[in-house]
């Protein structure tokens, strides 16, 4: 059986809102809001979901395996480091990202005005053309932890391909 030329990865993450005085980061972009997200690192659910999707595409475990939240090195850590680390592991194994799609679930703040900026920022972090990255935003329809404004969640899926040789 020929080895596969394509693989996919899936990521999901949740962080609780309520970190007073902490900036709200989504996809590495500062989004003005009255509070930030609670977590050991900078608590960016979108970058965490994308990092997990990249790791998952090659069955490399998850973000907690690579960056344990018990490790003081990652306290208030920049999640862009996690993302870049996963992307470097992918490249080092001979793979590249074809495209990435994602959803951020947040009742507030409204993310529509920030989607394009977040897409562009993630593309830059990954060294991809902007049209390979998609960020969509959904409200929680006033139900569940997202709808009650208690949490922000993110999902990501990534398609990767073997890098062509020569
Ligand atoms: Zn997280």
Residue 87 lies in a domain: yes
Cis omega before residue 109 (within 30°)? yes
Instruction: Give the mean model confidence (pLDDT) for residues 3-16.
Output: 96
Closest-CA residue to 111 (of 145, 146, 76, 143): 146
For residue 154, being part of any structural domain is answered with yes
Domain annotation covers residue 1: no
From the CA of 52, how far away is ligand 1's center (Å)? 10
CA dihedral 154, 131, 158, 151 (to 10 degrees): 0
Query: Residue 121: its pLDDT value, please?
Result: 98
- CA of 6 from ligand 1 middle (Å) equals 26
Residue 35's CATH number: 3.30.1330.50
Instruction: Look at residues 46, 47, 48, 57 and name the one whose alpha carbon lies nearest to residue 91.
Output: 57
pLDDT value at 76 more than 80: no
Does the residue 147 lie in any domain? yes
Q: Cα of 73 to ligand 1 centre, how many Å?
A: 15
Q: How many domains does the structure of the chain reveal?
A: 1
Q: Is residue 74 over pLDDT 80? A: no
Model pTM score? 0.95
Q: What angle do CA 121, 125, 127 make, to 5 degrees?
A: 110
Give me the domain span that covers residue 28. 6-162
Query: Worst-scoring range by mean pLDDT, 1-10, 42-51, 82-91?
Result: 1-10
pLDDT of res. 165? 65
**133 within a domain of the structure (yes/no):** yes
CB 53 within 8 A of CB 6: no
Asked whether residue 75 is domain-assigned, the answer is yes
pLDDT digits (tens, 9 = 90+) for 106-146: 999 999 999 999 999 999 999 999 999 999 999 999 999 99
Distance 48 CA to ligand 1 centre (A): 5
Q: Output the CA 115–ligand 1 centroid distance in Å.
A: 19
Q: Is residue 118 part of a domain?
A: yes
């Amino acid at each position: 059986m020929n080895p596969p030329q394509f693989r996919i990865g899936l990521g999901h993450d949740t962080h609780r809102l309520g970190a007073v005085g902490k900036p709200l980061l989504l996809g590495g972009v500062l989004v003005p809001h009255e509070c930030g997200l609670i977590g050991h690192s900078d608590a960016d659910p979108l970058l965490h979901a994308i990092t997990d999707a990249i790791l998952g595409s090659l069955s490399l475990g998850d973000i907690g395996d690579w960056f344990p939240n018990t490790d003081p090195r990652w306290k208030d850590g920049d999640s862009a480091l996690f993302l870049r680390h996963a992307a470097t592991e992918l490249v080092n194994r001979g793979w590249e990202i074809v495209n990435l799609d994602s959803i951020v679930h947040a009742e507030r703040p409204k993310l529509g005005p920030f989607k394009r900026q977040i897409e562009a920022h993630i593309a830059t972090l990954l060294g991809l053309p902007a049209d390979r990255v998609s960020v969509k935003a959904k409200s929680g329809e006033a139900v569940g932890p997202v709808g009650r404004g208690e949490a922000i969640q993110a999902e990501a899926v990534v398609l990767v391909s073997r890098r062509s040789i020569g």
